Amino acid sequence: MKLGIIGVGNAGSKIVDKMVEFESLTDRKLCRHVMVINTARTDLSKPDHIPDSQRILIGDTHQKAKGHGVGGDVEVGAEVAQNDIDEIRRAFDDVDIHEVDAILVCASLGGGTGSGAGPVVINELQKMYDEPVYGLGVLPGKYEGGRPALNAARSLQSFVNNTDNFIAFDNDAWRSKDQTVGEGYEGMNRELATRLVTLLGAGEYDEPTVAENAMDSSDIIRTLDTSGISSIGYASTSVDKTNGEGLLKRFREDHEIEDGSNAAAKINGLVRRAVNSRLTLPCEVSSADRALIVLSGPPSELSRKGLESAREWIENEVDTVEVLAGDDPRENATALSAVVLLSNVTETPRIESIQDQAVEAQEKIAEQEAVREEEIADLITDSDGKIDPVI
């Protein structure tokens, strides 16, 4: 697939940066147009792989933002983006839409810029282009408290309602207890970028490929076309590029006939491991509507039989007939990787708990504000007490 990728806010921009890095390290050709948008000048200077011309600062003249971010205030994040919509639109004008099959907007939902400006950016893209617009959203950890959860609950509705698919990443599930938060993010962003680029970059090569089962971008688009929430599983194993020397080589040659079935078993095992791995959003796998398998690695490691049996296994596991599968042959790859996209998953415990945390936070805020006799509860609650989307 050929993709336009846009990072909004701090985490969104870091994830886009890691995607570009992973794509260049693995010689892929996924990100045809890259852009990061932020309200904080310092955060905008963080990415290592984004050209300066593709970094857009918004809200520098806004009274509250002033180029320093929006301090977790989702309302200000949305307002700033709305005020600077002409500048954002002008930046989009440079996107050569014939060059891309879809656009992915990455943001975290716990802060103010990604969660507030992200939906405004998505709405604008939907107005300007016919191509699908996907969202990638980071859910805040439970440990972060009520305010990020409330931001996320509101923003999640806006992201899901306005995108063609929303891929979620759960910070809670990926947080490692023995790392500082900053160290953890670096690793988490790398893991996420690996999954996204391996999945969405499938099928884009410099040279035409003769692979029998090559993945087609239309299969990826079809699987994502559910308007729901998606989760991604991934597993990988290194491959022996030399095919062994001496005794090992002789052993391999002696067992040549077994190799075909070994390769198939390896693939089947790898795909099962991907589904049973830590998903980007932990969920009940059988609640997915559609699934897609991408198998990426050296052509000699790919096996039609293996892919087919893995596809059948997922068909039974997810209990759906909508399972597509394809190869992504990479001549110079040093690993064989399986990515499984689970589209429109509905049983997602963290999303349910964010809603509960958000309702609690909302009640607490309302209480505190009632005590101070301030009148801002109407910004976040409806008369029916439901959580409103951002826009």
Ligand X SMILES: Nc1nc2c(ncn2[C@@H]2O[C@H](COP(=O)(O)OP(=O)(O)OP(=O)(O)O)[C@@H](O)[C@H]2O)c(=O)[nH]1
The residues of the shown chain that bind ligand X, judged by CB under 6 A, are 9-11, 14, 39-40, 43, 69-72, 108, 110-114, 138, 140-141, 144, 148, 171, 185, 188-189
Task: Indicate the DSSP class of residue 242.
Answer: T
State the DSSP H helix or E strand holding residue 189, giving kind and residue range, or none if neither: helix 181-200
Lookup result for tokens 């990479």: 330
Closest CA to 5 of 130, 99, 74, 76: 99
The residue sitting closest to ligand X, measured at its beta carbon, is 111
Residue 123 marked in a binding site: no
Burial class (CB in 10 A: 0-12, 13-18, 19+), 83: middle
Return the bridge partners of 336, or none. Answer: 237
Residue with smaller CB distance to ligand X, 184 or 299? 184
Nearer to ligand X, 152 or 235 (CB): 152
Residue 112 marked as a ligand binder:
yes
CB 184 to ligand X: min, Å? 8
Residue 114 annotated in ligand binding: yes
Cβ-based nearer residue to ligand X, 122 or 302: 122
Q: How far is the CB of 62 from ligand X (least distance, A)?
A: 12
- Residue 58: CB minimum distance to ligand X, A: 11
What is the spatial distance between Cα 321 and Cα 230, in angstroms, rounded to a whole number? 17
Minimum distance between the CB of residue 240 and ligand X, rounded to whole angstroms? 33
| Residues ≥6 apart with Cβ < 8 Å to 136 | 12, 15, 104, 105, 106, 107, 166, 167, 168, 169, 192, 196
Q: What share of the chain is helix, strand, coil (3-state, %, to 5)?
A: 50, 20, 30
CA pair distance 320, 149, nearest whole angstrom = 32
Comparison of 3 and 188: residue with beta carbon closer to ligand X: 188
Estimate the crossing angle of helix 246-254 against helix 256-276, to 10 degrees: 100
Q: For residues 22 and 324, which CB has a smaller minimum distance to ligand X in the complex?
A: 22
Give the shortest CB-75-to-ligand X separation in angstroms. Answer: 11
Q: Is 144 labelled a binding residue?
A: yes
Residues annotated within a binding site for GTP: 112-114, 144, 171, 189
Residues annotated within a binding site: 112-114, 144, 171, 189
